[in-house]
Amino acid sequence: MSTDSAKKLFGHALELAHRLPRLWARVTAGEVPVWRARLVAEATIHAYPALPAEGVAWIDTQVAPFIEKMGRAAIDRLIERAMKLYGLATDQDDDVPSDSRHVTIVGERDPFAQTMQVHAELDIADALDLEQAVAAGAAGLKAAGCEESLDVRRSLALGELARHQTALDLAGAGASDDIVERTTARRVDLHLHFTAGLEPDESLSFGATGQLENRQRLILLEQVRRWAGTSHTDVRILPVVDLNASLSSESYAPSDRLRRQVQLRDETCVFPHCTRPSRRCDVDHVVPFDHDAAGEGRPQPGPTLTENLATLCRSHHRLKTHTAWQLESPANGVFGWTSPHGQRFRRDRHGTTDLSGVPTPTLA
């Protein structure tokens, strides 16, 4: 279980025990599945505006006897009713629905899939504008010679809208030279990993599939070639980073190259069992950097170099800095953690190993 999942579990238990006592009693008696009770706790914790104790107690009396027959929709209706009963929604018209607008990029699919789903709910005016822009883009692509189906052309047109700051005026375009000048495209960084090999004739070849690091999914080399081959693509190649090299920086903040190296080496936050991607983490010094060392003529105890850096998500960064958790790095990319209770863990690119029962604390 990750730290975030454990925090959520503790939060649900506290909400049930202290603010939903009737439902909690049925859970502890084995009459209600835990997952159903957690649905209610999740809803009352995250109600906005926050529900007072009286409102939660009212919900408790409503759901406890009938929780086996209630789903999330029924719970949400009770939350809405509690807000109205206890004066938390008086500034809104009863006939105005809650704001459900959203745009969701669905990435949790088959990693071999070469497409992604986009779900959205927009204002009526925005939706109609988008529909008109997508339809005009699809028509313009057909007029320019695209032979794909209407659905595919609509998806391509939506991609054009995403890549440019304003919609392309393709309405009525009869040929490619009738299309208005494109606006400046937004930059999108793709971190791609492909296996390279040297052929007998000493030419370099790449594997047919690689990894798109941004979304943790597989991608075809041919698809990357198509992206790079379009006329509006500006390709920026970053230097290859050797994960086994030792890089350093004189300043407290690591250089961009050093930061990329540590992020690629660690892949995730290096706290035991944490799965937060490294590119969303802080790059922290294992041995703290001494800002006064240079001015006082002392050697730097926590230099900014590969072996002394680790990626930590913000919550675990604070845990290391402000609590009794201890971190050491006996080897590059290998981290040893000791909890305030004496538990020991080894963390490396292969995952977390519990060393609490191991008599010798050898980590390297």
The tens digit of pLDDT for each residue in 13-52 reads 999 999 999 999 999 999 999 999 999 999 888 887 778 8
The tens digit of pLDDT for each residue in 211-239 reads 776 555 677 888 777 777 765 666 776 76
pLDDT value of position 202 = 83
- Please give the sequence-ordered ranges of beta strands (E in DSSP) within 196-249, or none if there are none: 196-198, 204-206, 209-212, 217-220, 248-249
Lowest mean pLDDT among 115-119, 212-216, 327-331, 351-355: 212-216
The tens digit of pLDDT for each residue in 135-188 reads 989 999 999 999 899 999 999 988 888 776 544 455 454 444 444 444 445 556
Say whether 360 sits in a helix, a strand or coil.
coil
Is the pLDDT reported for residue 122 higher than 50? yes
Is the pLDDT reported for residue 93 higher than 60? no
Angle at 160 between CA 158 and CA 166, to 5 degrees: 100
User: Using 50, 70 and 90 to split pLDDT, how confident is the model at 363?
Assistant: low
Using CA atoms, how far apart are residues 127 and 170, in angstroms rounded to an integer?
19
Is the pLDDT reported for residue 302 higher than 90? yes
pLDDT value of position 231 = 59
Q: What's the mean pLDDT in 54-76? A: 88
Domains in the chain: boundaries? 3-85, 103-178, 192-229, 248-354
Is residue 156 within 8 Å of residue 135, measured between CB atoms?
no
pLDDT value of position 325 = 95
Using CA atoms, how far apart are residues 207 and 171, in angstroms rounded to an integer?
41
Using CA atoms, how far apart are residues 111 and 28, in angstroms rounded to an integer?
40
Question: DSSP string covering 139-187, please?
Answer: HHHHHTT--S-HHHHHHHHHHHHHHBSS----TT--SGGGSPPPPPBPP
Q: Phi first, then psi: give them for residue 289, nearest 5 degrees.
A: -75, 130
pLDDT value of position 112 = 62
Give 277's DSSP letter: B
pLDDT value of position 271 = 94
pLDDT value of position 230 = 67
pLDDT value of position 226 = 77
Shortest CA distance to 139 belongs to which of 111, 115, 167, 163?
167
Q: Which residue has the higher pLDDT, 281 or 234?
A: 281
User: Using 50, 70 and 90 to split pLDDT, how confident is the model at 121?
Assistant: confident
b/e 302-340 (16+ beta carbons within 10 angstroms → b): bbbbbbbbbbbbeebbebbeeeebebebeebbbbbbbee
Q: Which residue has the higher pLDDT, 188 or 85?
A: 85
pLDDT value of position 77 = 84
Instruction: Count the alpha carbons within 13 Å of 303 in the hemisphere toward its beta carbon.
Output: 12
Lowest mean pLDDT among 59-68, 103-112, 123-132, 310-319: 103-112
pLDDT value of position 360 = 58
Q: Which of 107-116, 220-229, 290-299 has the highest mean pLDDT?
A: 290-299
Q: What's the mean pLDDT in 91-98? A: 49
For residues 202, 206, 207, 209, the Cα torsion angle rounded to the nearest 10 degrees is 180
**What global pTM score does this model have?**
0.55
Q: What's the mean pLDDT in 255-260? A: 91
